[in-house]
Structure 1
């Protein structure tokens, strides 16, 4: 399974489903999962990947909780996770980012997710899927792709960090306020997550993503930190950056933390 690409097309996945190392994890809504999923795909509610506690619900759950989740999906060091969802890649990206955080690097994203799979007329099932839980022990990797508010402020002062704000333009400008304060991190470039999806190709990652981002100034000349409101939308932008080989990490506290801290610098 070492040659399975990070970005996996539906037909490529269909040819791999019989391999025992492959574990498809579907983060679609429960009703969509139950209505029809990839044979063998395990449903996982996205809430399992987030702390869920205010003011920054998008932060990681406790290590104990993460261990429970990874054991429940049967993760072992040999498991190759393929993540998909029904919304263009946010929740799938969140799972893959979490795997990278714990040092598990055998994973792929189903490009276009369930939308692309269904439109390719590939097999669906409504059968219950059960897996044997694993006994894996996990820890946060030394070079986990995440950054916190204090580190961001330090890096901004050093002028060696690019902020990719994956929220809507209205959130970025402060027109829409969903925290104590509105606006954006100083110098942040706004590229809403959906701009990296191609609606003409079943929400696959747009084929010109690298050039599109470079035109905005997101080109990898500096380290990149991406965020949104709760590190859901920015999980997809992290995945896109990762797929392009950009030096990218994510800020899981995101705006729900930054905008609710009293002394973080803000532009609008």
Structure 2
């Protein structure tokens, strides 16, 4: 069983494993140049509906079933995801798998940047998936959260909102919705903070990340709900919390696109 946070050298030892599905969510131009041998390219747009006003919503079960069937996913498959941006789209894929109850997955620490920096083998030949037959049979309510739930619970003492957007978006200086600002009581920790820019976008030391989160009140004793604008950036935040062992962490797919465009949602701005 591969760990959730997978180092390049460890993945290199398992490239020939049966039941391993490596998914590359990098830009197509990067995939064509170099990818992990055997990795299948996935267009990240297929992980969201793309429909306004909240384009980050999770696709319906039939659409997801078709997608994962085409990728060759089975109940026994262990998925390894990576990208070229430090984990956002890889995180979104793993969150989606978690939402439909598929728990066998890993994140390649640092993605393609770390893989290349370590001199691991690469391929430039496109890998075609072997289609399977994957049926989505329900969702884990402990992975997702919708706006109605948030409206009812965002003020609960037992809950903390992790806003992964930029400082300007959180403060209400920049807005990509009708309303600017943040959900009242939300805590800000930008999605790129855990990434080590000096170490090929691997995660920084986990204890450092944990201390920074706890200093902001994002603590493992609470239900943690991650969001950004479309639950792309915040999918990586969700993944980081999972890696840190937070027991109750969920993603809000509607995110600010839904909340900030809804007439009945409360909004706060930073002083």
Given the two structures, how large is their TM-score scaled by the length of structure 1?
A: 0.97
Counterpart of 1:81 in 2: which secondary structure? Answer: strand
Quote the Cα distance in structure 2 between the aligned partners of 1:78 and 1:146: 23
Match of 1:73 in 2: 71
Counterpart of 1:162 in 2: which secondary structure? Answer: strand
Could you give the per-residue CA deviations for residues 92-125 of structure 1, whole angstroms, max 9, x where no partner exists? 0000000000100000000000010011111111
Q: Note the C-alpha offset of 1:200.
A: 1.6
Match of 1:233 in 2: 233
Match of 1:242 in 2: 242
Quote the Cα distance in structure 1 between the aligned partners of 2:213 and 2:141: 25
Given the two structures, how large is their TM-score scaled by the length of structure 2?
A: 0.96
Quote the Cα distance in structure 2 between the aligned partners of 1:121 and 1:185: 44
Q: Note the C-alpha offset of 1:144.
A: 4.2
Q: Note the C-alpha offset of 1:202.
A: 1.0
Residue range with higher mean Cα deviation, 94-103 or 143-152: 143-152
Q: Note the C-alpha offset of 1:206.
A: 1.4
**Alignment partner of 1:260 is 2:261:** yes
Match of 2:156 in 1: 158
Quote the Cα distance in structure 1 between the aligned partners of 2:114 and 2:20: 19
Q: Note the C-alpha offset of 1:214.
A: 1.2
User: RMSD value over aligned CA atoms?
Assistant: 1.0
Q: Note the C-alpha offset of 1:158.
A: 3.3
Counterpart of 1:158 in 2: which secondary structure? Answer: coil
Quote the Cα distance in structure 2 between the aligned partners of 1:63 and 1:143: 14
Q: Note the C-alpha offset of 1:66.
A: 0.6
Match of 1:221 in 2: 221
Counterpart of 1:257 in 2: which secondary structure? Answer: helix
Quote the Cα distance in structure 2 between the aligned partners of 1:193 and 1:156: 20
For 1:111-190, what aligned pairs fall within 5 Å after superposition? 111-190=109-188
Unaligned runs of at least 5 residues, structure 1: none
**Alignment partner of 1:35 is 2:33:** yes
Q: Note the C-alpha offset of 1:72.
A: 1.0
Q: Is the 8 A contact 1:103 1:144 kept in 2?
A: no
Paired positions, count = 266
Q: Note the C-alpha offset of 1:159.
A: 3.0
Quote the Cα distance in structure 2 between the aligned partners of 1:56 and 1:142: 21
Deviant stretches of 4+, over 3 Å: none
